[in-house]
Amino acid sequence: MKKILLLVPIAIVLLAIGCQNKSKISQTTPLESFTDSLFQISVDSAQIAGASILIHQNGKTLVKKAYGYASLELLAPVPSNGVFEIGSVTKQFTAAAILKLVEANKLSLDDDFTKYLKFDTKGKRVTINHLLNHTSGIPSYTSMDEFFEKLYLRVLPRDSLVRLVESKDFMFEPGEALIYNNSAYFFLGLIIEKVTGLTYEEFLKDTFFVPLGMDNTSYCSISEVTKNKVYGYGYTPDGLKQKGYQNHNWPYAAGSLCSTTEDLITWMTALHQGKVLSEPLYKSLITPGQLKDGSKLQYAMALGNFSDFGNHRIGHGGAINGFLTDTRYYPEEDLYMICLVNTTGPKGASFFTDAITWELLEKELPEGKKLDFNTKLLEGKYRGAVRGSDNFTIEVKSILNGLTVKSERDDKADTLKTYIGNNTWADDNTRIIIKNNEYRFVNPSSYYILKKEIE
């Protein structure tokens, strides 16, 4: 009789647990199920070590989850509020900090940056605005072999990097192209320190992190113990490996912040809801400018602002040893996405945010048009500055109903995809324009202009 009485409460407990599990299953949304599958497959196949994702819309969090491992060695899972290195997502904090100084009348976007930082521009006028939107023409130190050979592993005064960049030629005249540039944001960090008398980290903490309650965002450290810190890895065909050494003396204001999905949604919603900058300065931050010739850019100040297959998108990614990040905001849908991945490799943060985006939004593909001119007229070699090279060559050849393009970095030629009229081809969110003896490569973070070699 006693045994029967004991079994009754056990049965009740098991029934209650079963009901709870069924409730949890029934509460899982189709979006969560899709997200779970998307990430778990990548973790199980060892393409990534781990990741955090946050999807937020109309004031509600739709998904906030962590997957995989913060430490493969310890098999420690990524915590719900894991701290990741966010790479170039740092830049939007730097840009906002500069605009705060504009708001305080401590500098102007039209100021020559050498007013605040000693640098020989070789007679060229380079404004703070040029630095913010990558149109300065100053070469990026992360494209210099000399930086990696002489500075990368060492902790030296930051002026040593300024002097290295100063010794190099400009890639183009200020305002004539957009080539993504880490030197520019490094310089902006030094300008912030010069104007405020504070370190870059102190100014961001006092101006943004503390007021917004971003308690888990800071300047990355390779020595301090950080709660919930996630470790970085790199994908190889032979398995995941530990990331390479990262000296955070150098990414600095271009890429040295660490944060969480929770803190980043706090930042993004505050920024886009007018709680960080005044309306005019917010517009300055998110509005793309134009080149000297009037060509419109898709990059503003540390934020791309463009049509993502028919959907208005504002955002930026980040990449640093062992970590890939993507942040995006779709204003018309009031939709935010933040993805942090602790693995560099083929499945970066944007792989996941792209998949989730098109699960939620309609993807409008560009409408192809019939070629209406003789493509033979466009054949030839085009040469100019691109990211990583100031003398890059692309060869264009005519084929039946199209063109092929082969760069000096490619083993074989690619066929240009969708012709959309006016000598322009669409390739995802990139546009290639070939006319007037120029080859223009345009996307949310680039505007390259290569000139045709006339024989």
Q: Are 168 and 53 in contact (CB under 8 A)?
A: no
| Burial classification of residue 21, based on how many CB atoms lie within 10 Å of its CB (0-12 exposed, 13-18 middle, 19 or more buried) | exposed
DSSP per-residue string spanning 346-398: SS-HHHHHHHHHHHHS---PPPP----S-GGGG-EEEEEEETTEEEEEEEEEE
Q: List own/partner pairs for 404-409 with CB under 8 A and 24 or more apart.
A: 405/432
**What does R_g of the chain's alpha carbons equal in angstroms?**
25
Task: Give CATH superfamily name and number for 87-360.
Answer: DD-peptidase/beta-lactamase superfamily (3.40.710.10)
Give residue 222's pLDDT: 87
**Which of 416, 382, 413 minimizes the C-alpha distance to 402?**
416
Kindly state the tokens that stand for 229: 């810190």
pLDDT of 2 > 50? The answer is no
What are the tens digits of pLDDT across the range 65-113? 999 999 999 999 999 999 999 999 999 999 999 999 999 999 999 999 9
Give me the percent of the chain exceeding a pLDDT of 90: 91
Q: Are 382 and 393 in contact (CB under 8 A)?
A: yes
Give residue 454's pLDDT: 86
pLDDT of 22 > 60? The answer is no
pLDDT of 36 > 80? The answer is yes
Going by pLDDT thresholds of 50, 70 and 90, the confidence category of residue 18 is very low
Average pLDDT score over the chain: 93
Give residue 348's pLDDT: 96
pLDDT of 61 > 50? The answer is yes
**Rounded to the nearest 5°, which phi and psi values hold at 440?**
-110, 130
Q: Are 69 and 52 in contact (CB under 8 A)?
A: no
CA atoms within 13 A on the CB side of 420: 15
Going by pLDDT thresholds of 50, 70 and 90, the confidence category of residue 26 is low
Give the largest Cα separation in the chain, rounded: 103
Q: What is the DSSP letter of 107?
A: -
Give residue 15's pLDDT: 35
**What are the boundaries of each domain within the chain?**
87-360, 375-452
Q: Which fold has domain 375-452?
A: Lipocalin (2.40.128)
Question: Helices then strands (H, E): number in the chain?
Answer: 13, 23
By three-state DSSP, how is residue 340 classified?
strand
- Between β-strands 84-85 and 178-179, what pairing exists: parallel, antiparallel or unpaired? unpaired
Cα gap 288→296, rounded to integer Å: 7
pLDDT of 299 > 80? The answer is yes
